[in-house]
A and B are shown apart, each in its own frame.
Chain A
Amino acid sequence: MTTKKAIVKKSKHKPQEKIESVLGKPFKGFFVNMLTRDIDLQDAILDLLDNCVDGAIRTRTKEMADRDSLKGFWAKIKLSDKKFVIEDNCGGIPWKLAKDYAFRMGPSENVHSKPGTIGVVGIGMKRAIFKMGTECYVHSNHEKDSFIVSIPPEWFENDDLWEFKAEREDPSGKECGTIIEITQLNNATKIAFKDGSSFRASFPALVGESYSYLIEKGFEVKVGKDDVPTKSVALCFESPHALNAKGEQIRPYIYSATMNGIDVFMAVGYRSRMLTQAEQEREAEATFSARDAGWTVVCNDRVVLSNDRTTKTGWGFGRVPNFHNQFSCIAGIVEFSSKDTGSLPITTTKRGIDTSKDIYTLARQRMQDGLRHFTSNTNRWKGFETELKGRFGEGSFLSLQELKDISEHLKFTKVKGDGVQRQYVPDLPEKKVLKTTKRICFTKKIKDIEKVSNHLFDEVREPNDVGEACFNRVLKEAKQ
């Protein structure tokens, strides 16, 4: 009884508040932090560039789309510790898209992206802006309307403010396009964008690497005043003008497939001549030329993984050995294209692959088949690498597009399985190792090797040359 009384008494002193609902909306700081913590600054900027490309794909003429050309479209990035600016001529943002979708967080089920674009989750622009700073202006000059959307610093502080102010404005230039200015940069971004930073040194090459195939299609990207340096995979292809010539040829393994609306094109082969044993040993010490080896994965023309040499791309598991210097001459490229971007094996940061997708599992099996073909071939040439040097010197090195073009005329064989799959397995040159030869290998002091080299050649040469010359000299004496 006393307990009941006490409860009643207590409730009399409490103000009466309606108990209807509890707050579930995110704190702005937490939301922004969660959204940006897993993306690097460079990837955030690449997301903005992806939007430019998507704009170009939306805007280009049918004739350009048929030729898959992006000629005439450009994006310019300006970095400084005061301001970040990205400007393009890719058509601008249609007002309806801006109003209903472009500035909202996440993809909308009602808005369908143009086939072949690379935007995946509808978060790229916002995430990039939040990653870099707390004040932003987005100017859009679209053929139908021109407007500016402002994201002020107060937006980040007010948990109830979820709208961005938009106003009509006069177009800033003749061409339709978008300008994004981020003015209140956070400290980490300021440091990265300052003159002389390591970010400033490495960023243009990263853009070039990720955009090589889009740049090949005519899209121009400038960081500051300079075009970004491009880099694309090129594989040795002997006798490209005599495709049906019989006999052993240094050519890539090529595979193509169409499954569930996704086109796959893959080529793996020699990107350079095989390194000699001595060169391989030197490369193990220090190298600035390893990045060309390994696998490059492209999704809808955007490089999402560059020169990978891990299990992710089939190295070091199953029947494929771990990557090491003997295989630095091998490179591969696999391209996935689909009108439905969501079906591609691509992560939300677009800098990695989603290995859980069935299409990638299937493709990786073929990537491993191709790899095995070449790793085994290098094994058979071990110790005789220089014998093939001349053939690499005379062979052509073909880009992805050239390989795709040439593959139309190659004799492919069908691969059993889902969808349409076919492959071209090259007949690579084989070293006929005679049982009458054996490899000699021994270790001597560097000083002594140099002394003998100076004695024999009047200069310091490779230990291999010195050893061979010594042997030949003694052999000659022995024969006499």
Chain B
Amino acid sequence: MNFAPAYHLRTNKAVERLLFLELLHRLDRVFGELHATSISDYTYVGLGGPYLEDFNLIHSTFGNRKMISLELQKDVLTRQAVNQPCSQVSLTNLSTRKYVDDLRLSRTPSIVWLDYSSQAWIEQLAECFDLVPKLAPMSILKVTLTGNTRTLGNNVTQRAQKLGEMFADYGPFQTRDVKRERICGTLFSIFRRSLAEAAPDTQWRAVRSLVSYEYNDGTPVLTITMVVGPIRTVEAVTEAIERWPFSSVNWNEPRKIDVPPLSLREKLAVDRLLPDAHPRTVINRLNLRFADTYEDSIAAMANYVELYRFVPHFVRMAI
């Protein structure tokens, strides 16, 4: 058995999910102005896992009626049947590869979140690039890659060499490129360059990043959200989203999400000082430390101060 940690144990992932929801809110407005369409009309496709958390959030926020869950494990499917947020979720026993292969060009735009948990990067990138030409104009593609480099070898030299063998077209890679703190940036660069070659811009279809984040809840994770569509419209969307402070449009480097885990008491105390207080002020006033050094503690608090609106707090609840 292989149980992935639940969402409430992955604070940074939870923050990223809420940021995604806010992005969809903004896109809803932009799409409304450009095309008179709404996110609620989109088909949502995802790998929801046993809890279908993302399906739940999207349905409760936008009320999407067409939702497709891709799940290979039969035991997880049985749990999804219990956890599905509404009757509209189609629980399929399909792999992402099968879904992409069988997908026919549709007129209905989709939000597709390929939330990969393994490190089969070659196959995953190939899947994404096969999917792009099949998506309806103004679809949203979100790809999450995990940067566990242990699968590449026992040490950084071996890992850099293995990555170079896998992606020789975009190498060579140095040992620093495969370190935990750098691997997401390396994957981002590989993704961008390979996508540019697999799906070069045309008047009718271009792909631009809207937001990219990297975080680490035990494993480095990179997540990129893109818009796919005619180049003029895609550019109009990126221009609108660029104004959002948490965006990183046009393939700008991924932003880091690294919020310190706070107890409920700490969170309430810090939140009372925000949004006006400087991270240094928060650290000094509450005499908090999250790292060995004072400066590192301020850096950690800075990330919290930036993202505090999106940081959830999970509490034990007896039903």
CB within 8 Å of B: which residues of A?
A: 191-192, 194-199, 201-202, 205, 272, 282, 285-292
The contact sample of 15 A-B pairs, CB cut-off 8 A, is: A191-B231, A195-B251, A196-B208, A196-B249, A198-B199, A198-B207, A201-B251, A202-B193, A285-B123, A288-B122, A288-B169, A288-B190, A289-B168, A289-B169, A290-B169
B245 is an interface residue with CB less than 8 A from chain A: no
Whether A291 lies near B169 (C-beta < 8 A) is: yes
Whether A198 lies near B206 (C-beta < 8 A) is: yes
Contacts of A285 in B (CB 8 A): 123, 126
Interface centre among A198, A205, A291 (most CB of B within 10 A): A198
Contacts of B238 in A (CB 8 A): 196
Whether B166 lies near A289 (C-beta < 8 A) is: yes
Tell me what chain A mostly uses at the interface: helix, strand, loop, or mixed.
loop
Whether B196 lies near A201 (C-beta < 8 A) is: yes
Contacts of A289 in B (CB 8 A): 165-169
Contacts of B170 in A (CB 8 A): 205, 288
Whether B125 lies near A201 (C-beta < 8 A) is: no
Nearest chain B CB to A258 CB, angstrom units:
34
Contacts of A282 in B (CB 8 A): 122
Q: What are the interface flags for B184-205 relative to A under an 8 Å C-beta threshold, 1 for contact and 0 otherwise? A: 0000001011111101110100
Q: Could you tell me how many residues of chain B have their Cβ less than 8 Å away from some Cβ of chain A?
A: 31
Contacts of A292 in B (CB 8 A): 168-169
Nearest chain B CB to A399 CB, angstrom units:
13
Nearest chain A CB to B258 CB, angstrom units:
25
Asked, given contacts A195-B250, A196-B209, A196-B238, whether A202 binds B169 with beta carbons under 8 Å apart, the answer is no
Asked, given contacts A196-B209, A201-B251, whether A288 binds B201 with beta carbons under 8 Å apart, the answer is no
* A191→B123 CA distance, assembly (Å): 30
Asked, given contacts A288-B194, A289-B166, whether A199 binds B123 with beta carbons under 8 Å apart, the answer is no
Nearest chain A CB to B124 CB, angstrom units:
9
Contacts of B122 in A (CB 8 A): 282, 286-288
Contact of A202 among B196, B206, B207, B235 (CB under 8 A): B196
Q: What are the interface flags for B159-186 relative to A under an 8 Å C-beta threshold, 1 for contact and 0 otherwise? A: 0000001111110000000000000000
Contacts of B249 in A (CB 8 A): 196
* A282→B165 CA distance, assembly (Å): 13
Nearest chain B CB to A363 CB, angstrom units:
26
Contacts of A288 in B (CB 8 A): 122, 125, 166-170, 190, 194
Contacts of B231 in A (CB 8 A): 191
Nearest chain A CB to B58 CB, angstrom units:
26
* A202→B169 CA distance, assembly (Å): 11
Asked, given contacts A191-B231, A286-B123, A286-B125, whether A201 binds B192 with beta carbons under 8 Å apart, the answer is yes
With both beta carbons as reference points, the residue of chain B lying nearest to A81 in the complex is identified as B235
With both beta carbons as reference points, the residue of chain A lying nearest to B167 in the complex is identified as A288
Nearest chain B CB to A58 CB, angstrom units:
33
With both beta carbons as reference points, the residue of chain B lying nearest to A290 in the complex is identified as B169
Contacts of B166 in A (CB 8 A): 288-289
Whether B196 lies near A291 (C-beta < 8 A) is: no
* A202→B170 CA distance, assembly (Å): 10
Nearest chain B CB to A109 CB, angstrom units:
40
Whether A201 lies near B193 (C-beta < 8 A) is: yes
Contacts of B123 in A (CB 8 A): 285-286
* A34→B18 CA distance, assembly (Å): 54
Task: List 14 other contacts, CB 8 Å, given A282-B122, A286-B122.
Answer: A191-B201, A191-B203, A195-B251, A196-B250, A198-B196, A201-B251, A205-B170, A288-B122, A288-B167, A288-B190, A289-B167, A289-B168, A292-B168, A292-B169
Q: Which residues of chain B (234-281) have a CB below 8 Å from chain A?
A: 235, 238, 249-251
Contacts of A197 in B (CB 8 A): 201, 206
Contact of A286 among B126, B192, B196 (CB under 8 A): B126
Contact of A192 among B126, B169, B193, B201 (CB under 8 A): B201
Contacts of A286 in B (CB 8 A): 122-123, 125-126
